[in-house]
Amino acid sequence: MTGLTHIGPDGRARMVDVGDKDVTERVAIAHGRVHMDPETLKLALGRDTKKGDPIAIAELAGIMAAKRTSDLIPLCHPLPLSSVNVEIEPDTEANTLVVTARVKTSGRTGVEMEALTAVSAACLTLYDMLKAVDKAMRIDAVELLEKTGGKSGDYRKTGT
């Protein structure tokens, strides 16, 4: 189990000690997709349902979730986030809403989990807002696209 920093030498889960790490600017970008029927996409893009504007509400849910990541993921450190941006854009050819989150901090550990949590919560909120008309929606492709800063260096997803 080498390389798994959340597992101690005794095999027990542990919160990693980041106290000796340098404070650096860290950014993470993640995305995910919500596939739906064409009529559901049209409804979402109209931004006016009985529950309100699904896109605006989902973007807000993503921001709120990023701020609460350490409450949801047991071994994540609580981080002072300096920026969280969640954007939802349509891919009309694929009948999909694409959720992208960009999270930034200056700290001793990265914000990959915050970006992934923001995307996941926004996707789930879109599902919740639109499920009355389309229970067959599918959430997929939640993944880290990019991260910068920290000891491990930069990462950028390559390929598809």
Catalytic, out of 10, 128, 140, 154: 128
Residues contacting residue 54 through CB under 8 Å, at least 6 positions apart: 44, 47, 125, 126, 129, 130
Looking at 18-154, list the stretches that DSSP marks H as alpha helix, in order from N- to C-terminal side: 38-46, 54-67, 69-72, 112-130
36 annotated ligand binder: no
77 annotated ligand binder: yes
Pairwise CA distance, residues 119 & 73, whole Å: 14
Pairwise CA distance, residues 68 & 85, whole Å: 15
Pairwise CA distance, residues 21 & 24, whole Å: 9
114 annotated ligand binder: yes
Is 48 part of the annotated catalytic residue set?
Answer: no
Active site residues: 128
Residues at the annotated binding site?
A: 75-77, 113-114
Residues at the annotated binding site for substrate?
A: 75-77, 113-114
